Amino acid sequence: MKSRTLRDVKMKLDIKNLTLWQLSVEFKKLGLRSFRARQVFRWIWLKGVRDWSEMSDISKELRTMFAERYRIGQLKVKSRTGSAKQGVVKHLFELEDGSRVEGVWLKDGSRRTVCVSTQAGCSLGCTFCRTAQMGLKRNLLAGEIAGQVLAISKGQAERITNVVFMGMGEPFLNYDACLDAARILNSDFGPKIGARKITISTAGITEGIRRLASEPEQFKLAISLNAADQKTRERLMPIAHRYPLTELMQAVRDYTSMTNKRVTFEYVLLRGVNDRPRDASALILLLQGIPCKINLIPFNPYPGTDYEAPTEVDVNRFSEVIMPHLPAVMVRKSLGGNIFAGCGQLALLQPTADS
C-alpha cells in the first residue's frame, strides 16, 4: 500500500466509516449508480483490499477519481498473543493517530467470536475493570470498530460466526459509530454476520437501550449488571449513580416489550462482594418476569486489583440458587485470563513469564 501523508489523512473522507447505504448516498452525489457502492464495499469488507488499484473490475479512471477523493483507513496489528489452539488470541491494534486498542478472537464450541473495542479506554470507572484505569482517550470510528473484525479474520483460518461489542469502552457512549459498524458487519456485501450473531453490551446507558429497541435490525442487547442491589452496584459501577437500577430495569422491560427479544445479563462474580447467597436471592427478585439469559463470569484478576476471583464452590453455589428461578443461566468459562484477554482485563497489558 502506498504511504499516505498526514494531510491525506485529514483531508480525505475515510470510506471505511460508511455503511453500504451511506456509501450509496455518497456516490450518488458523484452521479454514480448504486452498484458502484456495492462493488467498492465488497472489495473493502469482503476481500479486504487496502488500495484502490486492487479493485480490478472498476475502470482505471474511476479508481483514480476515488483515490483523489477518498482513502481506505487502516489499523495495524501490532501484536498477537495466545493461539487458536488455546482458543483465544488477543490482538493489539494501533490506529492511524497512534491510539491503541485490543480485540480478542475466541473459540467456544462451534462459535468463533470476535470481541471488539468501541473506545480507546473508558470513562465509566467500573472498579473491577482494568480498562477503566486508562481513562477515556477517544471514541472509535465505525471503520475502526468493524476493521478489528476484518483484521482478525485475516489471521484466522476459521470463519468468524459472532461479534460482541464488549471490549474496551462503553458502546452506547459511541452509539452511532457502533451501530454503523454493526451494519457494516451485517451487510450482505461485507462480512455477512447475522444480526442475531452481533451483540452490543452496555453498562446501563438507558438512552442507548431505548434507541436500540427502535432500530430495525435484530442486533442483540447485553447488560453488564454485576449487582442486584443499588448500593453494591454503585460501589462497583459509578454509572449506577446516574442510571439507578430502578431506571435501568424499567428500560430493559420496555426493551423486551417493544422487541419481543430477550436480554443477556452479564454478571461478573467477585468473591465476597456479589457472590453471596443473599446476592443470588436479590438477583432472582430483580430479574423476575424478564425474558433473559444470565451469563455468570468469574472475575479475571489482573495486577494491582483488590478484588478476588470466586472459588469453584462459590460459583456453583451461586448458580445452583438462581438456576431454578431464572430462564437460562450459563457459567462462562474463563478464556484468556492468563494473557489479560478476559472480561475486564483489556488495558494494553502483556503477560509476563510468570503469568
* pTM for the structure as a whole: 0.93
The predicted-structure confidence for 226-235, as pLDDT tens digits, reads as follows 999 999 999 9
Lowest mean pLDDT among 11-20, 204-213, 300-309: 300-309
C-alpha 220/C-alpha 234 separation (Å) is: 25
C-alpha 71/C-alpha 51 separation (Å) is: 8
Q: Is the confidence at residue 343, as pLDDT, over 90? A: no
Where exactly are the structural domains of the chain? Answer: 6-71, 76-339
CA distances from 287 to 93, 134, 213, 281 (A): 37, 32, 19, 10
Lowest mean pLDDT among 102-106, 166-170, 251-255, 301-305: 301-305
Place of cell 452496584: 233
CA 76 to chain centroid: 18
User: What is the pLDDT averaged over residues 59-86?
Assistant: 93
> Which 8-state DSSP code applies to residue 301?
-
CA distances from 250 to 215, 240, 259, 284 (A): 19, 14, 14, 16
Contacts of 276 (CB under 8 A, 6+ apart): none
Cβ atoms of 69 and 57 closer than 8 Å: no
Tell which wins on pLDDT, 86 or 320.
320
pLDDT at position 1 is: 39
The predicted-structure confidence for 9-42, as pLDDT tens digits, reads as follows 557 999 999 999 999 999 999 999 999 999 999 9
Strands (E), the chain: 13-14, 70-71, 76-83, 88-94, 100-108, 111-115, 119-121, 136-139, 162-165, 198-202, 220-224, 263-269, 292-298, 329-331
Confidence of residue 85 (pLDDT cuts 50, 70, 90): confident
For all residues of the chain together, what is the average pLDDT? 92
pLDDT at position 353 is: 46
User: What is the pLDDT averaged over residues 138-156?
Assistant: 95
Cβ atoms of 118 and 127 closer than 8 Å: no
Query: What one-letter code names the amino acid at 246?
Result: T
C-alpha 174/C-alpha 294 separation (Å) is: 25
Lowest mean pLDDT among 48-62, 195-209, 275-289, 326-340: 326-340
Q: Is the confidence at residue 5, as pLDDT, over 60? A: no
Cβ atoms of 219 and 182 closer than 8 Å: yes
Tell which wins on pLDDT, 85 or 134.
134
Neighbouring C-beta atoms of residue 35, cutoff 10 Å: 10
| Domain spanning 6-71: CATH 1.10.3720.10 | no
Three-state SS letters, 28-61: HHCCCCHHHHHHHHHHHHCCCCCCHHHCCCCCHH
3-class secondary-structure state, position 292: strand
Neighbouring C-beta atoms of residue 107, cutoff 10 Å: 17
User: What is the pLDDT averaged over residues 205-228?
Assistant: 98
pLDDT at position 266 is: 97
Cβ atoms of 90 and 339 closer than 8 Å: yes
Query: Which residues are known to be catalytic?
Result: 102, 343
pLDDT at position 351 is: 62
Burial of 221 (0-12, 13-18, 19+ CB in 10 A): buried
Lowest mean pLDDT among 116-130, 222-236, 333-347: 333-347
CATH number of 76-339: 3.20.20.70
pLDDT at position 9 is: 53
